[in-house]
Amino acid sequence: MKIKKQKLGLNTVCTHTGEVEDKQFKGAVSPIYLSSSYAFEDIDEKRYPRYFNTPNQQALCKKVAALEHTEAAMIFGSGMAAVSTSLLAFLHKGDHVVLQNALYGGTMNLVLEEFDKYGIEYSFTQSLNIKDFKKEIKKNTKVIYIETPSNPLLKITDIRKVAKLAKKHDLVTMIDNTFASPVNQLPATMGIDIVIHSATKYFGGHSDILAGAVAASAEHMNQIFQLAKNLGGSLSDFTVWMLERSMKTLGIRVKEQNKNALKLASFLEKHEAVENVYYPGLTSHPDYELAASQMSGFGGMMSFELKSEYNVSKFFKSLQLIKPSMSLAGVESTMLSPTQTSHALLTPEERKKQGISDGLIRFSVGIEEKQDLISDIKQAIKKSKKK
């Protein structure tokens, strides 16, 4: 794919690229165009919200494409609309897709619950090692799908090696770049074809928007568009406008979250109650070198395990500042127990196989003062020690 070299710096793109100019009143922010009907300018250029081409949609797509260094982008009604439309646009009856084994739960459900109906074959890799991707490629493989860093253990997939392997076999590559965000990771510059986001997370950043985004070459984007207009997963222009507003601070939010997370991970690693910390920015992380080679920052997501002498439920109840919550990537810090929430439906054996222990806690680090977060965790740990 042609990489669009960005002339402007990150925070300038966040603030200025892709705005609807207010020609009439010269307002500082984009006006919202809510029309669902537009007079034809050209019979081939019909404007309609479900065609992803309202003024606000088109403006925001420019911002996303600029951030991901791609030619084009699209905004969707949810992260899963972005994931499902992208996959189904490139997979037809009889085709095969290789997916990495550690994936967002919703993506896993899409594959396991829906793909058989459409006659799409799939394999999950044994590990994130490139050898295991190679092993799963078949004659009818069309797509390789990865997600890095992964949820909830922050495992790292080698983006460049996957892209190279795919090129050799003429396959389309897709990445879920939600956890890293373009602030920390630019997969298109490393050879990945299609970059997918749950914009509900860092793009939105304030836990008040459900949205998705895809960035790719104009050609790949057009193939996704041809399906997207039939599936109908576009986002309302009100929410598009809110998302544009949120993304102005994407750069400063995520950089602050990077800094906080690294401090918090170092604190947790040294704490006597903590068994393990999974954060790619720690030199103790098994994939630290790989992460450092493909990420410019390590993100705001981490996981850690409390030792068995500590009661996880009691720990959650004792937190005062940090909210126990499913959501992630907001400006507020949140935590959850995968065993009690996202992975509750798995058997204990299945969880163990995935490396998810009962003491595991996923931590989405916000922008609060790090000292306040540390104090909150310290007091909650103290209260959760088993007698």
Do 86 and 220 form a contact (C-beta atoms < 8 A)? no
Closest CA to 6 of 251, 292, 198: 251
Residue 98's H or E segment, with its range, is strand 96-99
Which one of 201, 255, 285, 362 is in contact with ligand PLP (CB under 6 A)? 201
How far is the CA of 205 from the CAs of 35, 88, 164, 191, 355, in angstroms?
27, 28, 33, 27, 28
* SS3 (DSSP) at 278: strand
CB of 108 to ligand PLP, least distance (A): 10
- Token pair belonging to 156: 């790292």
Burial class of residue 21 in the structure, from the number of CB atoms within 10 Å of its CB (0-12 exposed, 13-18 middle, 19+ buried): exposed
The smaller minimum CB distance to ligand PLP, of residues 209 and 380, is found at 209
Which one of 3, 137, 210, 292 is in contact with ligand PLP (CB under 6 A)? 210
Note whether 209 binds ligand PLP by CB under 6 A.
Answer: no
The smaller minimum CB distance to ligand PLP, of residues 47 and 63, is found at 63
Taking residues 34 to 73 in sequence order and writing x for each that binds ligand PLP by CB under 6 A, - otherwise, the string is ----------------------------------------
Task: Give the integer Cα–Cα distance in Å for 208 and 78.
Answer: 12
Do 48 and 36 form a contact (C-beta atoms < 8 A)? yes
Stretch that binds ligand PLP, among 77-85, 91-99, 316-324, 337-345 (CB under 6 A): 77-85
Q: Which residue has the tokens 């791609």?
A: 70
Stretch that binds ligand PLP, among 76-84, 227-235, 269-277, 378-386 (CB under 6 A): 76-84
The footprint of ligand PLP on residues 111-170 (CB under 6 A) is 147, 151
- Token pair belonging to 321: 């500042």
HSE value, Cβ hemisphere, 13 Å, CA-based, for 62: 13
Which one of 79, 152, 205, 366 is in contact with ligand PLP (CB under 6 A)? 79
Stretch that binds ligand PLP, among 28-36, 119-127, 195-203, 337-345 (CB under 6 A): 195-203
Q: Phi first, then psi: give them for residue 70, nearest 5 degrees.
A: -115, 170
CB of 371 to ligand PLP, least distance (A): 28
Note whether 106 binds ligand PLP by CB under 6 A.
Answer: yes
Note whether 178 binds ligand PLP by CB under 6 A.
Answer: yes
Helices (H), the chain: 10-16, 55-68, 79-90, 105-114, 130-136, 159-168, 181-184, 218-231, 237-247, 250-270, 288-294, 312-318, 348-353, 370-383
Q: Give the nearest residue (CB) to ligand PLP.
A: 79
Note whether 364 binds ligand PLP by CB under 6 A.
Answer: no
Which one of 152, 205, 212, 330 is in contact with ligand PLP (CB under 6 A)? 212
Which one of 33, 52, 90, 104 is in contact with ligand PLP (CB under 6 A)? 104
Binding site for ligand PLP (CB under 6 A): 78-80, 83, 104, 106, 147, 151, 176, 178-179, 198, 200-201, 210, 212
